[in-house]
Amino acid sequence: MNRINQKLIEDKKLLSIYFTAGYPNIDDTVGIIQDLEKNGVDMIEIGLPFSDPLADGPTIQDSSTAALKNGMTTELLFKQLENIRETVSIPLIIMGYFNPMFQYGVKAFCKKCQELGIDGLIIPDLPVDVYHEKYQAIFEKYGLINVFLITPQTSDERIRYIDSISNGFIYMVSSASTTGAKSGFGEEQTAYFERIGNMDLKNPQIIGFGISNNETFTQATKYAKGAIIGSAFVKHVTKYGANNIDTFVKKVLDD
């Protein structure tokens, strides 16, 4: 069973953390992954930096630009992750845009992910129907879960289509804006969370965008299996480097 599926059946609310590979320093990638697992994070999204990250807010865009300037590439990330499964057991997901994967070769990219022990991919700009028609068989051949995003604007019909071809979790974007930390969720977002909850989907949902602390993590996980923190953690490593990760995670889980 894929590690993501194993994690999803655990009797707990899940915390997933996103960070940008090669940021703040080029060699920080593995240390950050190890420290996140050590401090109780359930899943990790490793951001593959891209020059035109449409879905990302300014914090993650800036980290992506810096990582590219540091020299991060797809090849280098794969090299850094060569021995990751000797020390890390939780699910690892690569989040990135389709262009670098297409340039690498989709089949070769998926094969390499399997060899390294990557469990899934999140590709915000790969349309679900294109994935379904052209790439699903390749992903499944190499044991990779592809995670799709839905927003408050996604139609029920589209959500059910995504649910039907998914085999992990659905990334429930809390708002239609780009990524970024918010102070809390309003009535409109709460109604959206409830609407999705009432659809009785076969795949659990994990909420992302706007989760930054214990309050927003607790709010989000009332309506979903877990929550994803990205921008707030990237801000933390911008300020402290790859240090004090325990402090950040503790504030989210124990406040």
Q: Which residues, 6+ apart, have CB-to-CB distance to 120 below 8 Å?
A: 2, 4, 91, 93, 94, 144, 145, 146, 147, 168
Helices 245-254 and 231-240: crossing angle, nearest 10°? 140
Q: Which helix (H) or strand (E) segment is 5 a member of?
A: helix 3-8
In DSSP terms, 14 is beta-bridged to 226
Q: Would residue 187 show up in a list of annotated catalytic residues for this protein?
A: no
Burial group, residue 152, by CB count within 10 angstroms (0-12, 13-18, 19+): middle
Q: Would residue 45 show up in a list of annotated catalytic residues for this protein?
A: yes
Distances 135 to 59, 79, 106, 181 between C-alpha atoms, Å: 31, 24, 8, 33
Residue among 28, 35, 56, 119 flagged as catalytic:
56
Residue among 37, 42, 45, 119 flagged as catalytic:
45
Q: Which residues, 6+ apart, have CB-to-CB distance to 55 below 8 Å?
A: 124, 125, 149, 178, 179
Tell which phi-psi region holds residue 244, choosing left (phi > 0), alpha (psi between -120 and 50) or beta: left
Residues known to be catalytic: 45, 56
